[in-house]
Amino acid sequence: MELGLETAREAGALALSYFQRAQNGELQVTTKGTQDWLSEADGAVEMLIRKRFAEHFPDDGFFGEETGSTGFGQGTWVVDPIDGTANFVRGINLWCISIAYYQPDGAKLGFIYEPVEDRMYSARSGAGAFCNGQPIRVSGQADPERSLVILGYSHSIGVEPHLDTIKRLARHHTEYRRLGSAALALSLVAAGRVEAYYEMELNSWDCLAGLLLVQEAGGVCTPFASREFIEKGGLVLGCNAAFADHLYKLFEIGA
Ligand code: LIP
């Protein structure tokens, strides 16, 4: 836990130095696919995180968005060095560092750090969720007409399913947003700021820490403990307990 917190902060400081260059239009940026951005910051930050965990826990595995997997050790660090890359490269402050620690029976630790705000979300399985050391809980809002759901979208699933999701929410007068960072969105669910986060196809490095935060803050999540989910990702819903039934039915999850 201590190493996770220290490493998230150290990685955040490095990311911040690149973010300032992004804001000045001085960052080298490429794309990995349609609207799938990559900058020199992503690789540098991930290598720093990977190095720190290897120094202290050489028997652990590492699974990162940019450098891939070293295999699954007695535990595995699952890392998105900069979640919200499309915002980051434009100098928009909606991004974070996401680090989770996974063992064969599930995620054990989660850290989501927003360097610009110096805001650290953390969770340990069975021991609650925190923001800058203060306990956080999901909201109790169950009324669709008073709720807000953050959506994620990647072009791999196609336009129609995403538009259908928006229609389903709008027909119930539920507000929706698209932030471009699953980790940031899930931390807002855990903190009770919004009711849910939903994305039909997502990688584990984007959401593992955030789903543990939501779970430990009293929320309900689609399954995220399996090795298959870590390796391949899948559909993700993290929501407050009061609103879960409505959203499971609305999105036909498990139908
Ligand atoms: C992003 C996710 C987001 C998804 C984007 C992208 P990245 O991760 O956090 O939920 O909709 O397509 O995958 O690429 O910024 O690390």
- Alpha-carbon distance 81 to 100, whole Å? 11
Q: What is the pLDDT of residue 150?
A: 98
Nearest CA to ligand 1 atom 8: 83
CA of 214 to the centre of ligand 1 (A): 18
Residue 42 CA: which ligand 1 atom is closest?
16
From first to last of its 255 residues, the chain has per-residue pLDDT tens of 999 999 999 999 999 999 999 999 999 898 888 888 889 999 999 999 999 999 999 999 999 999 999 989 889 999 999 999 999 999 999 999 999 999 999 999 999 999 999 999 999 999 999 999 999 999 999 999 999 999 999 888 899 999 999 999 999 999 999 999 999 999 999 999 999 999 999 999 999 999 999 999 999 999 999 999 999 999 999 999 999 999 999 999 986
- Ligand 1 centre to CA of 181 (Å) is 5
- The pTM of the full predicted model, rounded to 2 decimals, is 0.97
Q: Could you tell me the distance, in angstroms and rounded to a whole number, from the CA of residue 10 to the centre of ligand 1?
A: 22
Protein residues whose CB sits closer than 6 Å to any atom of ligand 1: 65, 80, 83-86, 152-154, 180-182, 199, 202, 206
Nearest ligand 1 atom to the CA of 80 is 16
Q: How far apart are CA 57 and CA 65, in angstroms?
A: 20
Q: Which atom of ligand 1 is nearest to the CA of 88?
A: 15
Alpha carbon of 13 to ligand 1 centroid (Å): 21
Alpha carbon nearest to ligand 1 atom 13, residue: 154
Q: How far is the CA of 226 from the centre of ligand 1 (A)?
A: 21
Of 113, 108, 141, which Cα lies nearest the Cα of 125?
A: 108
- Between CA 37 and CA 157 the distance in angstroms is 17
Ligand 1 atom at minimal distance to the Cα of residue 206 = 9
The pLDDT assigned to 37 comes to: 86
Those residues with Cβ within 8 angstroms of residue 39's Cβ, 6 or more apart along the chain or in another chain = 18, 22, 27, 28, 29, 30, 82, 85, 88, 89
Nearest residue CA, atom 16 of ligand 1? 83
Residue 205, pLDDT score = 98
At residue 255, the pLDDT reads 66
> Distance, CA 245 to ligand 1 centroid (Å)?
26
CA of 182 to the centre of ligand 1 (A): 6
